[in-house]
Structure 1
Amino acid sequence: MRVDVFKIPQAGPDDVSGLHHLIQSGAIAPQQIVGVLGKTEGNGCVNDFTRGFATQSLKVYLAKYLSPEAIQEIVFVMSGGTEGVISPHLTVFTRQPDDPQRSPRLGLVLGTARTRPFLPREIGTMTMVTTVAAAVQEAIADAGAAAEQIHFVQIKCPLMTASQRSSQAEVVQISSYQSMALSRGASALGVAIALGELSLNDLQEPDIAHNFDLYSGVASTSAGVELQNCEIMVLGNAPCTSAYVIGHSVMDHALDVEAVRQAMAQTGQGSDRMVQILAKAEASPTGQILGRRHTMLDDSDISHTRMARAVVGAAIASVVQDPMIYVSGGSEHQGPPGGGPVAAIACLDE
């Protein structure tokens, strides 16, 4: 396959002008769009409607070119929260058959999959873990890659709203916000199972969103109210004719810029060839960073996920000198506690 990557600035969640320009110029063929990652300027919490607004705007626009069935096949992952210097934008991935004029080389491949819708009571359970694991394996097969060739797995997962909790036969003793963490965590553990980073024997249901020694080094999960299933995109390197390549590393803490440089170095390309950085962000649950106390978990006015995005976004932007980066908050079982996976996509020298 040949995968292409387009990073598009947005003036607002409903701004499709940049995508429109690329389609009108012929740079993007709507029929080849397989995934869209977005950073929208909401709060990234339960009531962040910028995610759904952005997705709806994209679907309405693409309906000019594609059938409802074709639009349904596109993976839309909108991550809310552009705190600090993070700039709102879209990253559009297209896929087409290999270019016969090019010789295959190790380059970016992409696969997608979806789970069935989850019942509210299944969110954050072993049922979710195993269901996600099976779907991730489907996405890896769709990418034509092996598990060890995967560098980043992006999942959009559901959460449980207050009305859904009240409709359950048994009283559910978690908040909507807590359900986001459980959903992200179970989805990430599903990635770890699918990639062989963990085995099912390593994991019990009480571990989910509690035992953070269990994690994936490539999972990135983002919860939202705008869907009930999980939408999955895997990114890796395999022989193909793509003009892009991906590398990854794991940040041990929110200021671990050396891990960002390691991910970039894995691509074999210079900093001027970097197209996008994808990362997870978390306020360390220990209340410490580099041996110093932080207060992100104690602030009742601002969610710690918002603070973490601002910190990690600034740290990464300082390395790549570009604030248009994808940083998602809440990294339960995504990298070590207080850290998170980071991936770099670069354009290969032609």
Structure 2
Amino acid sequence: MRTTSFGVIRIATKGPGDVSGLMSVIDSGAIDPASILAILGKTEGNGGVNDFTREYAVAALCTALAPHLGLTPHEVEQRIAFVMSGGTEGVLSPHITVFTRREVGEQPAGISGKRLSIGMAHTRDFLPEELGRSAQIAETAKAVKTAMEDAGIADPADVHFVQIKCPLLTSDRVEAASARGNKTATTSAYGSMAYSRGASALGVAVALGEIASDIGDEDVLRRYDLFSKVASTSAGIELMHNVVIVLGNSASSVSEFEIGHAVMSDAIDSAAVIAALNSVGLGIAPQATAGRKFVNIFAKAEASPNGSVRGLRHTMLEDTDISSTRHARAAVGGLIAGLAGTSAVYVSGGAEHQGPAGGGPVAVIAKLSN
């Protein structure tokens, strides 16, 4: 009998250190802090190597949750998966999405079909010279399969979004590799974010059978015909391993929620966003679908590497003042916010091997009345 239920709630934040919304929800009894499985957030930093709003947000959340769980902040971070994506350009609004898991005594009435299920796993710590290379691909693939088992998902077709937090290189990490006689994929800290994101995404594609497993170092950031339709990877300075969160639908879940996805072919692919909304029975805003309620939408965005969108030149890659990832987040964020009817949507920049070049996956979670 199905006895696992998953919950999802989106909470606005006033800043990267603001935990008042989450504490209010906990105090009201709407969330049992012991049931929190993962927290995904958008913070208003620059999304780059020196975006410490991500680490600040995680520290604030861990400190606030520690007394409720009887743990130290460090132990909270080990227990809950935190993925903070920096950059809320344009209309994007800072927020967190809290995912919970609890065991229920018996299957609620009216629950049928496959419902939202979430699984988590971690890779081992990587050496700096392994980032963006085959080792990161292989270890990520293993972790995705482990997370699928944790979610009770056997069929890759039931996986609709795989969120990964992955490491990046710093000058100290590059120097440590050099001291051992090894070269890193790049010596650029900012460039390493793309390598790490790309290798992690290829690991998802391998795990789900989207591409063959015989890929190597030379394919990362070169073979853009190789990609995952459900991978979303975000690099940060605060870790040296990959945190993997698999979101899909499972017959073993009695959740009130459902997830679906589509793939944007480019940054202005509104049809794909609408298809993602339709995949969970929703339409574009204002959503008035009976028995369905929009919860959140998750997407990847990047400036097309060939410098054009549908044959017309874009200048995102040539702007020396503003990073192309910031341009892409703003553009895709505005498109999605208009169709979803809210600016509190999760749009992450840098979509290397995450959907076709210049595009990216887009997933939607809806709450069902039964």
TM-score normalised to structure 1 length: 0.97
Deviates more, 1:261-270 or 1:247-256: 261-270
Q: Distance in 2 between matches of 1:230 and 1:204?
A: 19
Q: Aligned partner of 1:15: which letter? A: D
Matched, 1:116 2:124: yes
Deviates more, 1:166-175 or 1:229-238: 166-175
Which of 324, 327, 335 does residue 307 from structure 1 map onto? 327
Which of 147, 157, 164 does residue 155 from structure 1 map onto? 164
Equivalences, count? 349
Residue aligning to 1:144: 152
The answer (yes or no) to whether the contact 1:279–1:326 under 8 Å persists in 2 is yes
The answer (yes or no) to whether the contact 1:82–1:88 under 8 Å persists in 2 is yes
Q: Aligned partner of 2:92: which letter? A: I
Residue aligning to 2:362: 342
Q: Aligned partner of 1:102: which letter? A: P
Residue aligning to 1:208: 220
User: Tell me, which stretches of 5 or more residues in structure 2 are unaligned?
Assistant: none
Question: 5 Å matches for 1:131-280?
Answer: 131-146=139-154, 147-169=156-178, 170=182, 172=184, 173-201=186-214, 203-239=215-251, 240-270=253-283, 271-272=287-288, 273-280=293-300
Residue aligning to 1:88: 94
3-state SS of paired residue (2:163): strand
Q: Distance in 2 between matches of 1:145 and 1:221?
A: 20
Q: Distance in 2 between matches of 1:101 and 1:228?
A: 40
Q: Distance in 2 between matches of 1:38 and 1:190?
A: 23
Question: 5 Å matches for 1:64-103?
Answer: 64-66=67-69, 67-68=71-72, 69=75, 71-98=77-104, 100-103=106-109
Give the superposed CA RMSD.
Answer: 1.2
Q: Distance in 1 between matches of 2:326 and 2:104?
A: 40
Percent of aligned pairs with the same amino acid: 52
Q: Distance in 2 between matches of 1:65 and 1:30?
A: 7
3-state SS of paired residue (1:323): coil
Summarize the Cα distance change of 1:324–1:167 in structure 2 as closer, same or farther, 3 Å threshold. Answer: same
Name segments (4+ residues, structure 1) moved above 6 Å. Answer: none
Q: Aligned partner of 1:344: which letter? A: V
Q: Aligned partner of 1:317: which letter? A: A
- Kindly provide the CA deviation profile for residues 258-316 of structure 1, in whole angstroms up to 9, marking residues without a partner as x: 10111111112453411100000000001001211000000011100000000000000
3-state SS of paired residue (2:26): helix
Which of 22, 27, 30 does residue 30 from structure 2 map onto? 27
Residue aligning to 1:128: 136
The answer (yes or no) to whether the contact 2:177–2:183 under 8 Å persists in 1 is yes
Q: Aligned partner of 2:136: which letter? A: M
Displacement after TM superposition at 1:164 (Å): 1.2
The answer (yes or no) to whether the contact 1:62–1:71 under 8 Å persists in 2 is no
Q: Aligned partner of 2:166: which letter? A: C
3-state SS of paired residue (1:94): strand
Displacement after TM superposition at 1:199 (Å): 1.6
TM-score normalised to structure 2 length: 0.92
Q: Distance in 2 between matches of 1:62 and 1:6?
A: 16
Displacement after TM superposition at 1:90 (Å): 0.3
- Kindly provide the CA deviation profile for residues 148-171 of structure 1, in whole angstroms up to 9, marking residues without a partner as x: 211000000000111211222345
Summarize the Cα distance change of 1:320–1:194 in structure 2 as closer, same or farther, 3 Å threshold. Answer: same
Q: Aligned partner of 1:60: which letter? A: T
